[in-house]
Amino acid sequence: MVKGIMVISLKEIGEFGFIEMIKNSCPAKTGGLIKGIGDDCAVIGPFDGKALLMSTDMMVEGVHFLLKSISPYQLGQKAVAVNLSDIAAMGGTPLYILASVAVPKDMDIGFLMSMYSGMKDMCSQYSVSIAGGDTSGSTGGMTVNITVIGEAAVNHILYRSGADVGDDIYVMGNLGDSCAGLKLIKREATAPKAIALILKTAHNRPVPMLVEGQTIARSGLASAMIDISDGLVADLGHVCENSKTGAKLFLKYLPLSEELRVFARINNMDPYKLALSGGEDYALLITAPRKNREAITRMFDTEKLCKIHRVGKITADKSIEIVSHKNRQIFNYLHGFDHFA
């Protein structure tokens, strides 16, 4: 209490409560803002049937990465990849990035140039241009911030708010590998060398699912989409909150890699907990009407996209229910990553 005013800490309201406070105090003041705070990208337009997609992500030393556990080249790649994943989650095409860094003045210039090489190579892979940025000194650790600008046809953009009761829930890509990789990097767990390399790579070098996101968005078969950065339960929660629905997830359908299963056995961990609450997988989650099941499966096979897994359904309960292998309901099982929790 300060002079009769109650003080509330960030820890008490959490990251997403903080974001909601900012969102409520930042109404749109100009036309053209189709979607502001609350989705993977801001959407601005339309311009001849298209809209601009804009997003930004910050990576802070000691929070998002450890300098001793990631090469500068991988750091540059990852900084760009996680931003491209936001564009993928809206079904868009990335065009430009702005790259900003804050670094201590004694930082090795060779490290920085290698990091920018990683950025440039990741951009080149997806035909993205580095259009500018900023540099600053830092009295603490290193910070890398990327802003990405992309585009999409207005009528193809997928939002978090489109899920409807009865829709199927799908996941593209494996879950939990990145979380396991981080535990290995932090030496909180062990694994055979070959498995450790795969899991650490999943954490240090995520792959943005741009082709998959663009394909599902153009198809018109899905109702909502999000990338899984905070964990499956947390990010599905964002979809449910924005769509005013609930969800039911079935553990037996979650896509787990064999490497994750081996890792979990060796370290006596629950692989499903890692898959449900582990962040930074950057897989895509979509919801789609039940009537589109066959068409979605056929499209992913025909287009030779990644494997897609139906893991649950959207409900009217306004809560997320997790069902075990024995069809038992599990409540309050876990949560996703929260910077201020």
Output the CA–CA distances (angstroms, integers) from residue 253 to 1, 38, 180, 300, in the order listed.
Answer: 48, 28, 19, 18
Domain boundary among 124, 156, 188: 156
pLDDT of residue 339: 37
Q: How many structural domains does the chain have?
A: 2
pLDDT of residue 36: 87
Rounded to 5°, angle at Cα 146 from 144 and 149: 175
- Tell me, yes or no, whether 335 lies in a domain: no
pTM of the shown model: 0.88
For residues 56 and 149, membership in a common domain is answered with yes
Give the list of residues 6+ apart from residue 21 with CB closer than 8 angstroms, or none: 13
For residues 180 and 313, membership in a common domain is answered with yes
Q: Rounded to an integer, what distance in angstroms lies between the CA atom of residue 105 and that of residue 147? A: 23
pLDDT of residue 123: 98
Domain boundary among 156, 176, 210: 156
For residues 134 and 166, membership in a common domain is answered with no
| Tokens 């990335």 sit on residue | 94
For residues 211 and 310, membership in a common domain is answered with yes
Query: What domain range includes position 305?
Result: 160-330
Give the CATH number of the domain where residue 42 resides.
3.30.1330.10
- Tell me, yes or no, whether 174 lies in a domain: yes
Burial 115-148 (b: 16+ CB within 10 A, else e): bbebbbebbeebebebeebeeeeeeeebbbbbbb
- Tell me, yes or no, whether 83 lies in a domain: yes
- Tell me, yes or no, whether 24 lies in a domain: no
Output the CA–CA distances (angstroms, integers) from residue 175 to 28, 171, 288, 306, 325, in the order listed.
Answer: 36, 9, 20, 13, 17
For residues 215 and 132, membership in a common domain is answered with no
For residues 282 and 184, membership in a common domain is answered with yes
pLDDT of residue 62: 86
pLDDT of residue 127: 98
Give the CATH number of the domain where residue 177 resides.
3.90.650.10
Q: Rounded to an integer, what distance in angstroms lies between the CA atom of residue 140 and that of residue 143? A: 9
Domain boundary among 121, 156, 191: 156
Q: Rounded to an integer, what distance in angstroms lies between the CA atom of residue 300 and that of residue 110? A: 42
Both tokens assigned to 226 = 């999000």
Query: What letter would DSSP give residue 38?
Result: T
How confident is the prediction along the chain (341 residues), in pLDDT tens digits per residue? Answer: 445 555 666 566 565 565 566 555 566 566 689 998 889 999 999 999 999 999 999 999 988 888 888 999 999 999 999 999 999 999 999 999 999 999 999 999 999 999 999 999 999 999 999 999 999 999 889 999 999 999 999 999 999 999 999 999 999 999 999 999 999 999 999 999 999 999 999 999 999 999 999 999 999 999 999 999 999 999 999 999 999 999 999 999 999 999 999 999 999 999 999 999 998 999 999 999 999 999 999 999 999 899 999 999 999 988 899 998 776 666 543 444 343 34
pLDDT of residue 37: 81
